[in-house]
Amino acid sequence: MTLNKLKDELQIVSHRGLPSDFPENTMVGYREVMGLNVAMLEIDVHLTKDQHFVVIHDETIDRTSDGKGRIADYTLSQLKSFDLVVIKMLLLRENEYPR
């Protein structure tokens, strides 16, 4: 394969929105990345204990909330009771980049 052919076939895929600038897996991050020259937006989806889909990169809530444990071990209602780190980051970003 030639370098030119490879260059023509390369596609940019965004993972988790634009986590370098915005909280990952948030609508503000998704909106921003759609304005860039990306071919796809890839997300991670996990199932809760009560079979609801949630969009989160990790299998646990340890890194992104004040809770600990696997997503699959919690119901959606229980997950909603945790303080999400990304919500705090999002509020800061929304103040910096109002819509």
Domain-by-domain residue ranges, the chain? 12-96
- Considering 46, 57, 78, 87, which one is annotated as catalytic? 57
How confident is the model over 73-82, as pLDDT tens digits? 999 999 999 9
Q: 6, 22, 14: which is closest to 40 by C-alpha?
A: 14
State yes or no: is 46 an active-site residue: no
- Does this model's pTM top 0.75? My answer is no
Closest listed residue to residue 29, CA positions, set 81, 80, 94, 83: 94
Q: Categorize the per-residue pLDDT at 48 as very low, low, confident or very high, splitting at 50, 70 and 90.
A: very high
How would you label 35-65 residue by residue, b for 16+ Cβ within 10 Å and e otherwise?
A: eeeeeeeeeeebebeeeeebebeeebbeebb
Residue carrying structure tokens 């071990």: 73
pLDDT single digits (tens) 6-15: 567 788 888 8
- Residue range 12-96 in CATH 3.20.20.190: yes
